[in-house]
Homo-oligomer: A and B are copies of this chain.
Amino acid sequence: MSSPTALIAIDWGTTSARAYRLDAAGAIVEARAAPLGIAQVDAGRFGEALARLLGDWQDLAVPRIACGMIGSRQGWVEAPYLACPAALSALAQGLTAVPGDRLLVVPGLRTRDATGMPDVMRGEETQVVGAAADALAPALFVLPGTHSKWVCFEGGRVVDFVTYMTGELWHVLLQHSILGRLAVAPADRDRVATPAFLRGVARGGDHDSLLHDIFGARTQALLGELAGSDVADWLSGLLIGREIAAARQWAQALGLDAAQVHVVGDDALVARYAAAFGACDVAVVHADARAAAFGLWRIAVQADLISS
């Protein structure tokens, strides 16, 4: 190992785990990933999974810190949710030690909207802390995915957030509902911003009747107005367009202008959302997809785990 290691940071989610070795300046020296998410590991065997993920990093006598579902009730140790607004210092103070290991786990966050409905997240708070760095001005972060999160960050604090079940709804409707029957896989699965996708975005943005509109994926295909190979794209656009419209209202209620968003995620999904944002005249700042590693670094520094 060429660079000295100061921290091992782990983004440990439901399906996969990513480990990063960072140097004393907080730069990523090396990264490793394994399909060892908490859904893939039997309870009681997280120690073994960590050893497999780290390999020869096991011998490094440096602090270890993790975020994500590893801190959930189904994970290795439960790191209780902190209430919003939550500052970096609160995340650092809320670190929970894994019994019998030197791994520290970042707490998740919870919030409650004006009507009292609760919301939770685990892992995204760390990504936002990493992507926001030292910014103090209000900023809106979007973390698209199975359960898309929109996060308002201001003055070094996670002020509030909201979840949309966009990705999972798209998946279950195509895989398990009648909407999938007329859908055929497109020739190029990586394409983004197709006319069908953008048409869906416009529909979702302009109408709030999702319970009716999703049925349009069937009726349009049935009447020959949507090709089978466009059904999945149109439905994706509809749901993402609806998410963006609903989230902009949410942001405005917080006094935030949603003319610009910071998007954190894997390349394919970010490209899809960027196309939708483009159609809605929202400017996109692409955040580093390794934001979790930088967030874990900042929390570790705040917790005095690293002398920097």
A interface with B by C-beta (< 8 Å):
110, 115, 117-120, 147, 162-166, 168-169, 172-173, 175-178, 203, 206-216, 219-220, 222-223, 225, 239, 242-243, 246, 250
Most buried by B among A166, A210, A212, A215: A212
Per the bound structure, the CA–CA distance linking A173 and B147 in Å amounts to 13
Contact of A176 among B162, B176, B178, B223 (CB under 8 A): B176
Per the bound structure, the CA–CA distance linking A120 and B246 in Å amounts to 28
Per the bound structure, the CA–CA distance linking A220 and B162 in Å amounts to 14
Majority SS at the chain A contact face = helix
Residues on B with beta carbons closer than 8 Å to the beta carbon of A215: 119, 147, 163-165
Contact of A117 among B162, B203, B211 (CB under 8 A): B203
Residue in chain B with minimal CB distance to A209: B246
Contact yes or no, A169 B219, CB < 8 A: no
Residue in chain B with minimal CB distance to A178: B168
Contact yes or no, B166 A211, CB < 8 A: yes
Chain B nearest CB: distance from A167 CB in Å? 11
Contact yes or no, B176 A212, CB < 8 A: no
Residues on B with beta carbons closer than 8 Å to the beta carbon of A172: 172-173, 176-177
Residue in chain B with minimal CB distance to A73: B222
Contact yes or no, A120 B212, CB < 8 A: no
Contact yes or no, B164 A219, CB < 8 A: no
Per the bound structure, the CA–CA distance linking A172 and B246 in Å amounts to 23
Residues on B with beta carbons closer than 8 Å to the beta carbon of A168: 177-178
Contact yes or no, B169 A214, CB < 8 A: yes
Chain B nearest CB: distance from A147 CB in Å? 7
Residue in chain B with minimal CB distance to A242: B211
Contact yes or no, B211 A120, CB < 8 A: no
Contact yes or no, B117 A222, CB < 8 A: no
Given contacts A177-B165, A212-B163, contact A115 B219 (CB under 8 A): no
Contact yes or no, B173 A120, CB < 8 A: no
Contact of A211 among B118, B178, B246 (CB under 8 A): B246
Residues on B with beta carbons closer than 8 Å to the beta carbon of A223: 110, 118, 120
Residue in chain B with minimal CB distance to A221: B118
Contact yes or no, A246 B212, CB < 8 A: yes
Residues on B with beta carbons closer than 8 Å to the beta carbon of A209: 208, 246, 250
Chain B nearest CB: distance from A132 CB in Å? 23
Contact yes or no, A210 B213, CB < 8 A: no
Per the bound structure, the CA–CA distance linking A173 and B286 in Å amounts to 32
Chain B nearest CB: distance from A75 CB in Å? 13
Chain B nearest CB: distance from A14 CB in Å? 9
Contact yes or no, A165 B120, CB < 8 A: no
Contact yes or no, A213 B117, CB < 8 A: yes
Residues on B with beta carbons closer than 8 Å to the beta carbon of A222: 118, 120
Per the bound structure, the CA–CA distance linking A119 and B225 in Å amounts to 12
Residues on B with beta carbons closer than 8 Å to the beta carbon of A175: 176
